[in-house]
Chains A and B, each alone.
Chain A
């Protein structure tokens, strides 16, 4: 089945810095790549997604890039704020399922 690797597992930044989280996937037929944010004790919520016909997508301070040739995609958060502190999960649709990465804990210090 699909294998999704996510790095780093933890990321600490200062408020205002940028944060980048990277994921690789194994199924070259995958076409859908969502990112979920999970605050402590809360449910995961979709923050942005990208489909294979698009190389980059932005939504205010959040952007996602996709490189289908290399089978990797990344989440970019600019001007980080303390409320960005959470666990972020990437996922890839492939082999008739959605496979999640193991998550990145982002800590933004004031």
Chain B
């Protein structure tokens, strides 16, 4: 099993450009999450999907949109990138909800110039 995979690994954008970060899991998990990690700030939740067909905002959703394409895939879209969105983005999944182990992807390092 590959676990949780993310693409791309690195990306550089110019302010105002758009892009989609892709995430997939092969563990048949119901719940999926997107976090951003900034120095000294820990992991902050952007959006999550408790189950296929549902999505909810987390702590820092502004400037992002998500799509739960199917049970395996959960994408994060930046419509108009800003320098404040420079960060490392992690996707994660868990079997069912907040009290199950979250398995993280390898991360995407995004720089917005």
Report the interface size for chain B: residues with CB under 8 A from the other chain: 18
Q: A89, B102: Cβ atoms under 8 Å? A: no
Q: How far is the CB of B23 from chain A (nearest CB, A)?
A: 12
Taking chain B's interface residues, is the majority helix, strand, or loop, or is none over half, making it mixed? loop
> Judging by beta carbons under 8 Å apart, are B90 and A100 in contact?
no
7 more CB-based (< 8 A) A-B contacts, given A32-B99, A102-B41: A1-B59, A43-B90, A44-B43, A98-B98, A101-B42, A103-B40, A103-B42
Known: A98-B45, A101-B42, A102-B40. A49 touches B101 (CB 8 A): yes
Q: Is B16 an interface residue (CB 8 A)?
A: no
What is the bound-complex CA distance between A96 and B54, given in angstroms? 15
The interface on chain A, measured as residues whose beta carbon lies within 8 A of the other chain's beta carbons, has a size of: 23
> Are A89 and B42 in contact, CB atoms less than 8 angstroms apart?
yes
